[in-house]
Chain A
């Protein structure tokens, strides 16, 4: 992580002069605002940032950030971000992508960036729909969703992003909600400080084509009872009255009520985001209604060597053994002969 420079940034310093063109009421506005706030607070010189994106509503975001930015082609943000970070590890690379961009057309690059542990921050705007092409189903759309390309409802099982990410050997997975600026800000900061691929799924409401997709657990009435915000080292307790918790029973997670059947706080699981065994994180990331609350916050964050660190180490090892440094030396190495 780069040094801070006492730039005394404010969020506005990260706003570009481009007019923001998302629909009024779109969750993307909230994501942009919380990212700009996060970057101002991190106080790292803005020229060190590169915001990379693919195609889709989410991918317009780099145009609105006053940093270096690359709005690329559909699905390829992870590959381009990989190239930038590997070529120059001093740069701080944030990838802006969506559920279609990252998981359909770009699925291959997504899993391989994670597998390699490229030190990039992936903000995955999940609205469970294709917005920019005006309303087709995506790999995260709920089974049965009626869209323009599924007029009788989809017949496909969706990906759960957390499960896919952890399955690809993901070391960092967090989830937040577009309008929750405070939680987003908190999660982005942890992601920023993480060394390796950090995936943050942002549940993002598309007001036009999939409005209310997350209402069952994000509306004012439902959110306290239907979500749990995880913090490392804290008990997994949730609910309007903080009277519900999660335990592990028969190898399965289970929601229990404190005080019922003799359950006390000490029976409730304590969240360990740093546990390297992915089993519990996989289950937490996969929790969904009606059986479970939806988990928010940093679900998994385990340290491992980044791709760039491994590459630098390997280069040093090879350089210690080889004497070749210049092209002249290379061309004259091995079998050569003189013609006189």
Chain B
């Protein structure tokens, strides 16, 4: 490879690929991430795309972005600010201008910077001047022209030619990082294996982009990010929806149960149904239901029939499922309900992230309806918490809600592949026939868990249903029985606390400020707190994965700090939950409802304000 004019060594770099929603930016970003991970970088990704499959071309609303943060150190977020922006059109500049770090590199397709598209993006004439980006390292590449040139003479239609533009941009970025092209070339070969001409065109353009970078090398520095200090083992990249699906498969295997999923397509949860629909080789039964209600009802049926049953959805779907969810509460059947949260209310922001379904999960049902709620913290962590959700559902005979969100579902990171032998066991509380009459709601005295009597078993014939029941399973409207059963169901869920691990504090157990996150707040909160600690502040962090019941040591952890602040992507749902559950303490709250994850910087700024600049002593 050619000599580099200047190599910048960095601990971490944030790259954002940005263009029209049809420009292939998601794929480009994914290929770059996988290549980086294979090299040994720690990575975190954040796809950010519009709800429309093909939004109006060239408009800011139609911009689809994929951000990846690669690092020589441990990476917990996709990064606040971009170091390298690939902009396929002027709208991509407009959409991302405020997120560019000083001195960033912008690679753009100059063929698309014509008057029409510049004005469509809301500029008058010069995007870079108008957004004060002149001082950035601008690399203009007439990508459309170069692609046409590179593929001259090949017998492919002009549309296919232009669709390879993303590979050209990717090639240029690979040159910037001196990366290997092999992973991407293998991918192209596999994806277009049946269309050799298209495969050849994409590979050709990828290389053309790379060589173009080399040709213009005098103009630009290149980057080098060393491998991250990652633990030994076998790794792969995984996103939240895939990790969730695999966690469920792992639970089914450990419990020796067949997995059933009944779901209805909904952004951003559909990936779970799609992933599990693939796994017929492992015996997964997937049913794309006629609606959200049928999704959960088929799952409840499967649970009654003795299977590990799952339904996946997002906020609007959870609303539709709430009546049936209560049927699972009443019949005390194991069921995992996954809510991949998105911006609400109503249709809201289907492709954007938010943590605003917490109250819906906790309280959004009629009557007294206790349901355990747990939340995953990172994309790969969805594996563990999906596993745990299923374990709790089975062992405690209850529906469980697992909250993830768009940020986790679509974000990806390297994941050290666990071994199934190291996963916890799952004990299924089957009913067995005895001389005594089978009573459907007879309970384990310690856990209050009833037994699972699976149809097909002789001698355990019984009836369940949504009407209030006695221990025997007979319908009862007796006042005292109803109160007893309401309290028992609640107590049963509270007793799950014995299976909930203690909170782990990032940092010292005492200090000036405890920064509290839940679910996907984990990445930005932890990163912000680590940086504050390095800067000398007496700050620690905790992240809640178990919301109901809360971990046993919650109060003890809270007691060690002068102030507490709860960071969440809603207007304060978890903060208010804590105010109710742990009234002794006061809570500051840092909230954001923009459909975007937290940046590390904004959390740090808020913490410093709370600390009034107070450092050591």
Contact of B281 with A83 in the complex, beta carbons under 8 Å = no
> Which of A315, A334, A338 is within 8 Å of B283, CB to CB?
A315
Q: Produce 1/0 per residue, B275-312, CB < 8 A to A.
A: 00001111101010111011001111111111101000
Q: Please give me the residue from chain B that is nearest to A91 by CB atom.
A: B455
Q: Please give me the residue from chain B that is nearest to A76 by CB atom.
A: B297
B233, B258, B262, B280, most chain A CB atoms within 10 A: B280
* Least distance between A83 CB and chain B CB atoms (Å): 2
* Least distance between B478 CB and chain A CB atoms (Å): 15
Interface magnitude class on chain B: 35 or more
Contacts of B418 in A (CB 8 A): 331
Q: Tell me if A222 counts as interface (CB < 8 A to partner B).
A: no
Contact of A330 with B234 in the complex, beta carbons under 8 Å = no
**A47-55, A145-153, A176-184, A195-203 - the one binding chain B:** A47-55
B38, B460, B461, B475, most chain A CB atoms within 10 A: B461
Q: Tell me if A251 counts as interface (CB < 8 A to partner B).
A: no
Q: Please give me the residue from chain B that is nearest to A71 by CB atom.
A: B465
Q: Tell me if B159 counts as interface (CB < 8 A to partner A).
A: no
Q: Contacts A324-B281, A328-B419 given: A73-B246 contact, CB under 8 Å?
A: no
Q: Tell me if A286 counts as interface (CB < 8 A to partner B).
A: no
Interfacial residues of chain B within 445-462, with CB under 8 A of chain A in the complex:
455-462
> Which of B253, B287, B307, B463 is within 8 Å of A88, CB to CB?
B307
Contacts of A321 in B (CB 8 A): 281
Q: Please give me the residue from chain B that is nearest to A18 by CB atom.
A: B474
Q: Contacts A87-B260, A334-B236 given: A47-B299 contact, CB under 8 Å?
A: no
Contact of A84 with B304 in the complex, beta carbons under 8 Å = yes
How far does the alpha carbon of A338 sit from the alpha carbon of B34 in the complex, in Å? 14
Contacts of A84 in B (CB 8 A): 301-302, 304-305, 455
Count how many pairs of residues, one from A and one from B, have CB atoms less than 8 Å apart in the complex: 199
Q: Produce 1/0 per residue, A101-143, CB < 8 A to B.
A: 0000000110010000000000000000000000000000000
Q: Contacts A79-B298, A82-B301, A84-B455 given: A70-B463 contact, CB under 8 Å?
A: yes
* Least distance between A96 CB and chain B CB atoms (Å): 12
Contact of B280 with A314 in the complex, beta carbons under 8 Å = yes
B40, B298, B460, most chain A CB atoms within 10 A: B298
* Least distance between A231 CB and chain B CB atoms (Å): 34
Contacts of B327 in A (CB 8 A): 72-73, 76
How far does the alpha carbon of A91 sit from the alpha carbon of B457 in the complex, in Å? 11
Contact of A47 with B456 in the complex, beta carbons under 8 Å = yes
A55, A62, A82, A88, most chain B CB atoms within 10 A: A88
Contact of A319 with B281 in the complex, beta carbons under 8 Å = yes
Q: Please give me the residue from chain B that is nearest to A318 by CB atom.
A: B280
* Least distance between A139 CB and chain B CB atoms (Å): 18
Q: Tell me if A86 counts as interface (CB < 8 A to partner B).
A: yes
> Which of A76, A87, A332 is within 8 Å of B234, CB to CB?
A332
Q: Tell me if B249 counts as interface (CB < 8 A to partner A).
A: yes
Q: Tell me if B3 counts as interface (CB < 8 A to partner A).
A: no
Contact of A87 with B420 in the complex, beta carbons under 8 Å = no
Q: Contacts A69-B462, A335-B34, A336-B236 given: A88-B455 contact, CB under 8 Å?
A: yes
Q: Tell me if B132 counts as interface (CB < 8 A to partner A).
A: no
Q: Please give me the residue from chain A that is nearest to B467 by CB atom.
A: A71
How far does the alpha carbon of A122 sit from the alpha carbon of B303 in the complex, in Å? 21
Contact of B301 with A87 in the complex, beta carbons under 8 Å = yes
Q: Please give me the residue from chain B that is nearest to A338 by CB atom.
A: B234
For the complex with contacts A47-B458, A50-B305, A327-B253, 15 further pairs of A-B residues with Cβ separation under 8 Å are: A48-B456, A69-B462, A69-B463, A69-B464, A81-B301, A82-B297, A83-B301, A83-B305, A83-B309, A87-B285, A87-B302, A90-B456, A318-B281, A327-B282, A330-B282
Taking Cβ atoms with an 8 Å cutoff, the residues of A that contact B are 16, 18, 45-50, 52, 55, 62-63, 66-73, 76, 79-88, 90-91, 108-109, 112, 311, 314-315, 318-319, 321-328, 330-332, 334-340
Could you give 30 example pairs across A and B, Cβ below 8 Å? A48-B455, A50-B305, A55-B466, A69-B463, A69-B465, A70-B463, A70-B464, A79-B289, A79-B293, A79-B294, A79-B297, A80-B300, A81-B301, A83-B260, A86-B298, A86-B302, A87-B305, A109-B297, A112-B290, A315-B280, A325-B281, A326-B253, A326-B420, A328-B419, A330-B279, A330-B282, A331-B246, A335-B236, A337-B235, A338-B235
Give the 10 A-B residue pairs with the shortest CB-CB distance, closest first: A83-B301, A71-B465, A83-B298, A79-B297, A87-B302, A322-B281, A69-B463, A68-B455, A318-B280, A84-B301
